[in-house]
Structure 1
Amino acid sequence: MNECAPQKSWFARNWGWAVPVGGCLVIIVLFFVFLGSVIFGVNELMTGSDPYKEGLATAQQDEYVISILGEPIETDGIMQGELSYKNNQGKANISIPIKGPKGEAKLYVEGTKLNDEWTYSEMYVIISETDEQIDLLGYKKD
């Protein structure tokens, strides 16, 4: 008599290593999803801030910056720096990579917030190619 014993399924034969490996993969995927959502959330908070918006708008309207970078001027990467708010007071010290059709630069914004009003002590653009510094609050420096 030649009877075939039913063969175990793949999972029944390999569960000893498949369950731990699968569990580890799930944990790794969840970690990266969490990390991505944190980075995305922080980036959204920072790009929605008044210093970010006002600095970018000022650079986009400055004729000298437009003549060097061209139009349109847009962001070119992830903003860096710090923003803090506490009890109607705030502080900003950020740098924003920007670009235009003719070149790239970094926009720097530094200011304080008191009673819901931002006051900027520094707002300038440094052109990547020449290291020229353009003050957006009033005067230009090389």
Structure 2
Amino acid sequence: MEENTRKESWFKRNWKWAVPTGGCLLIIILIIAFAGTIFYGVTSMFSESEPYKTAFELANNNEEVTSVLGSPIENDGMIKGSINLSNDDGEAFFDVPAKGPNGNAIITVDATKTNGNWTYEVLEIKLESTQEIIDLKPDKLLD
């Protein structure tokens, strides 16, 4: 006599461990996605700010800096610091690792925004190879 027993599905046989494992993996994936979103948001807030753009523009246009680092000079890592904006006022203080084809450096920015205008207290680059600090502030930005 032939037996007509149906084999249970994989999920029906393994649900006791598959459901908790799948739930834990989903939570881990959501946490990683959330952290990535926060990191991207903070990074883009810095890189789209006027002090950040000004710092890299001045570094790329400074002959002394480009003679040591080469050109172009780009971001080379995680920005450390803070930026606070409120309408036409704000503050920015950060260090950003920079690199060129020939070396690395740290760009330091300390700026205050009042009535829509940025004033740079510190805008400099420290070359890694020589530890030399080069002031990037042009005369028009000095206060």
Q: With structure 1 as the length reference, what TM-score do the two structures score?
A: 0.91
Which blocks of at least 5 consecutive residues in structure 2 are unaligned?
A: none
Q: Deviations over 1:73-94 (max 9, x none)?
A: 2221222210011252211111
Structure 1 position 108 matched with structure 2 position 103? no
Query: Where does residue 51 of structure 1 map in the other structure?
Result: 51
Which blocks of at least 5 consecutive residues in structure 1 are unaligned?
A: none
Q: Which amino acid aligns with 2:42?
A: V
Q: Deviations over 1:68-112 (max 9, x none)?
A: 111122221222210011252211111111111111101111110
Give the length in aligned residue pairs. 139
Query: Where does residue 64 of structure 1 map in the other structure?
Result: 64
Query: Where does residue 11 of structure 2 map in the other structure?
Result: 11
2 CA distance for matches of 1:69 and 1:15? 59
Query: Where does residue 127 of structure 1 map in the other structure?
Result: 127
Structure 1 position 27 matched with structure 2 position 21? no
Q: Deviations over 1:99-129 (max 9, x none)?
A: 1111110111111000000000011111112
Q: Which stretch shifts more, 110-119 or 34-43?
A: 34-43
Q: Which stretch shifts more, 72-81 or 21-30?
A: 72-81
2 CA distance for matches of 1:137 and 1:96? 16
Q: Segments of 4+ in structure 1 off by > 6 A? A: none
1 CA distance for matches of 2:96 and 2:57? 12
Query: Where does residue 39 of structure 1 map in the other structure?
Result: 39
Q: Deviations over 1:11-52 (max 9, x none)?
A: 111111111111111111111111111111111111000110
Q: Which amino acid aligns with 2:131?
A: D
SS of 1:72's equivalent in the other structure is coil
Q: With structure 2 as the length reference, what TM-score do the two structures score?
A: 0.90
SS of 1:94's equivalent in the other structure is strand
CA RMSD of aligned residues (A): 1.6
Query: Where does residue 88 of structure 1 map in the other structure?
Result: 88
1 CA distance for matches of 2:99 and 2:23? 44
